[in-house]
């Protein structure tokens, strides 16, 4: 009886280890060769398993991609965990969220492309329900972090409570601005075509304009590049002190340990 249970336990552990291996190698392959470089049979061979075995873990190629994305998203979300503990005013904390995300994107350039591909109707349609919810779940802490900062700012009197607008909906602004700028920055040749450079610097300034528009104290004039830079440096320093720097080389490759 005990015997039976412990072998079952071992089985589950082995199975999970194998799944982690698949996800790990898949991610490596995507990083090296792009999304097209990921081929189911090649990946299986890489891991020294048969194609069919791979399909016992993932219903389809898209399902596998969603699993990879979920793992990365968990890493991304983890960055926001330290933010509530930072010694910063609420407005700076919101900035910290945006900066942490910008830095994550800089360190993991393929993450955005993967997500973009994944949420495409063609791809998303082939992702199993379980993986869909897993991915949504992995992203939840991100919007929760945003919501928490907004709530705190309101409670603390930094941000007047907007009428007909919950905390999530207030956070939607910076979030959408962030998402949109990442999109534009990643669209091959788009910003170049309009001769726009350093999109993230502009994201930060527009971010301040947005928050100042909502009267989020302490207000900061977006048209004061020096102060904007100083504030960015201040918040980046706080992030770095908490171990979430732009130069965090981690890059997820160390996930296996």
Phi-psi region of 237 (alpha: psi -120 to 50; beta: other; left: phi over 0): alpha
46 contact choice in DNA, a copy of itself, none (CB below 5 to 8 Å, kind-dependent): none
CB 8 to DNA: min, Å? 8
Q: Binding to a copy of itself by residue 225, rule CB under 8 A?
A: yes
218 binding a copy of itself? (CB under 8 A)? no
Nearer to DNA, 45 or 119 (CB): 45
**Cα distance between residue 65 and residue 40, in whole Å:** 11
- CA–CA dist 92, 217 (Å, integer): 10
Per-residue contact track with DNA, 58 to 97, x per CB under 7 A? Answer: -xxxx-----------------------------------
CA distance 55 to 231: 49
Neighbours of 67 (CB within 10 A): 24
Q: Does 130 bind DNA (CB under 7 A)?
A: no
Q: Using CB distances below 5 to 8 A depending on partner kind, what does residue 16 bind out of DNA, a copy of itself, none? A: none
Cα 145 to chain centroid distance, Å, stands at 12
- Report the distance separating Cα 221 and Cα 223, nearest Å: 5
- From the list DNA, a copy of itself, none, which binds 55 (C-beta under 5 to 8 Å, kind-based)? DNA
Among a copy of itself, DNA, none, the one that 6 touches (CB under a kind-dependent 5 to 8 A) is: none
Question: Pick from a copy of itself, DNA, none: which does 51 bind, CB < 5 to 8 A by kind?
Answer: DNA
CA dist 7 → 12, 78, 166, 202 (Å): 9, 33, 50, 57
Tell me if 157 contacts a copy of itself by CB under 8 A.
no
Helix/strand/coil percentages in the chain, nearest 5: 75, 0, 25
Q: What is the rounded distance in angstroms from the CA atom of residue 231 to the CA atom of residue 233?
A: 5
Site for DNA in 16-45 (CB under 7 A): 18, 38-42
Q: Is 175 in the site for a copy of itself (CB under 8 A)?
A: yes
**Cα 140–chain centre separation:** 10
Rank residues 84 and 180 by Cβ distance to a copy of itself and give the closer one: 180
Select from a copy of itself, DNA, none the partner in contact with residue 11, using the beta carbon and a kind-dependent cut-off of 5 to 8 Å: DNA
Least separation, in Å, of the C-beta of 104 and a copy of itself?
Answer: 16
Distance (Å, rounded) from C-alpha 30 to C-alpha 241? 31
Cβ–Cβ < 8 Å for 235, 96: yes
Site residues (CB under 8 A) for a copy of itself? 34-36, 113, 116-117, 119-122, 124-125, 132, 136, 140, 143, 160, 162-165, 168-169, 172-173, 175-181, 183-184, 187-190, 193-196, 199, 202-203, 205-206, 208-215, 222-225
């Amino acid at each position: 009886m005990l015997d039976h249970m412990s072998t079952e336990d071992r089985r589950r552990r082995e199975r999970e280890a194998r799944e982690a291996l698949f996800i790990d190698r898949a991610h490596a392959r995507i990083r090296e060769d792009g999304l097209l470089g990921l081929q189911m049979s090649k990946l299986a061979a890489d891991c020294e398993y048969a194609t069919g075995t791979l399909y016992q873990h993932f219903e389809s190629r898209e399902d596998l991609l969603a699993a990879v994305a979920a793992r990365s998203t968990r890493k991304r979300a983890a960055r926001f965990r330290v933010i509530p503990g930072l010694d910063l005013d609420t407005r700076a904390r919101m900035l910290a969220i945006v900066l942490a995300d910008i830095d994550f994107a800089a360190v993991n350039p393929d993450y955005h492309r993967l997500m973009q591909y994944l949420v495409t109707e063609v791809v998303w349609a082939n992702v199993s329900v379980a993986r869909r919810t897993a991915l949504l779940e992995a992203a939840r802490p991100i919007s929760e972090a945003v919501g928490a900062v907004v709530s705190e700012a309101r409670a603390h009197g930094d941000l007047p409570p907007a009428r007909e607008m919950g905390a999530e909906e207030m956070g939607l602004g910076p979030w959408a601005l962030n998402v949109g700028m990442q999109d534009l920055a990643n669209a091959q040749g788009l910003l170049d075509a309009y001769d726009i450079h350093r999109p993230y610097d502009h994201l930060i300034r527009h971010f301040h304009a947005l928050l100042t528009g909502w009267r989020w104290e302490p207000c900061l004039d977006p048209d004061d590049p020096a102060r904007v830079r100083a504030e960015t440096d201040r918040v980046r320093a706080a992030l770095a002190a908490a171990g979430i720097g732009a130069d965090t080389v981690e890059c997820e490759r160390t996930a296996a340990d």
